[in-house]
Amino acid sequence: MKVTVTNRRGETIIVLDDLTPQMTVDEFKEVFHSHLNKFYPSRQRFTKGDGKEKVVLRNGSTLVELGIVDGDSVQFKDLGHQITWRTLYMFEYAGPIIFYLLTYLRPSFLYGDVTTEMHPHQHIAFYCWTFHFLKRFLESAFVHIFSGDTLGLFFLFKNSSYYWGFGLFIGYFTNHPLYTPISNELLINIGLVIFVVSELGNGYIHLYLRSLRTSGGNGKARVMPKGFLYTITNVSFPNYFFEMMVWVAWNMMFFSFAGVLFFIAGTGQMLAWGIKKHKRYRRMFNGENGTEKYPSSRKAMIPFIL
């Protein structure tokens, strides 16, 4: 079976003649890679047809299932250098730990000659910050199951600049010699309780979601989430809700403009993700074709509101 691979301008890149109709797209990519070593499988994207007739050749499908026959042409797009989602998450979450630690050590090139001792609240802030991002780092390494395999290298710099930048930004002000701590100890204690409970809730949901994904056998099965924390919060993404509450608690304890800005940016992004995925849940679990009916009263991320 012969298939011609062209570029986006229709120019022939290579003609592959050692194919079979039952070959999967994954195997097709390996064959392409064996002829053009530069393009490893994860940076390859193939399509067939144009306009509304365009079909993406997705991994797992066979050539015959996609309607590809002897003599057909497919279009190749180079996705560029790729990294795994796991690598991205681990890299972006390591940065805030490093940069916050840098400000915690109060180097002279940031603060000049420092003669004052750190306030106890600044030490608590360091422990909270480090715990949070170390938790996220370890979850990325050992807990999360990612729907996609890889993404463009550009996102490593885009995502890391966000987290690493805020790590330095928040750390600079929170560890500053002139930092004015909140005087209300009760507020600190309440904030610390909210922080710990939210971290535990967030971590529990991540472990629970992993169990749902692994129960399908291939790591990508979709099961309607339910359970105690879904019942009491009545939201589709209590992990996002608890993550939001972590930063509510942080700003209760260690208020700063940088911290509030991080809370707004993070909450806004999680809301966008949550609303989009919430709508998808409603479409998936509509009570038809043997699926469960998604709870109509359940919100996306913020209980009773949104």
Q: Please compute the mean of the pLDDT values over residues 260-273 and round it to a whole number.
A: 97
List the Cα angle 301/304/306 in 5-degree steps.
Answer: 40
Structure tokens at 153: 């290298």
Q: Please compute the mean of the pLDDT values over residues 31-58 and round it to a whole number.
A: 92
pLDDT over 70 (residue 221): no
pLDDT at 95: 97
Angle subtended by helix axes 85-104 and 120-142, to nearest 10: 170
Residue 147 CB: number of other CB atoms within 10 A? 9
Residue 218 CB: number of other CB atoms within 10 A? 9
Q: Please compute the mean of the pLDDT values over residues 57-64 and round it to a whole number.
A: 93
Q: Are 99 and 30 in contact (CB under 8 A)?
A: no
Q: pLDDT band at 216, cuts 50/70/90?
A: low
pLDDT per position as a tens digit, 102-140: 999 999 999 999 989 999 999 999 999 999 999 999 999
Q: Please compute the mean of the pLDDT values over residues 182-190 and round it to a whole number.
A: 95
Structure tokens at 167: 């790590």
pLDDT per position as a tens digit, 64-91: 999 999 999 999 999 999 999 999 999 9
pLDDT over 90 (residue 149): no
162/133 Cα distance (integer angstroms):
14
Highest mean pLDDT of the ranges 17-21, 67-71, 264-268: 264-268
Q: Please compute the mean of the pLDDT values over residues 43-66 and round it to a whole number.
A: 92
* Strand extents, DSSP E, the chain: 3-6, 12-16, 44-48, 55-56, 73-78, 82-84, 150-152
pLDDT at 102: 97
Q: Three-state DSSP class for 302?
A: coil
Q: Please compute the mean of the pLDDT values over residues 277-290 and round it to a whole number.
A: 91
Summary mean pLDDT of the chain: 94
Q: pLDDT band at 243, cuts 50/70/90?
A: very high
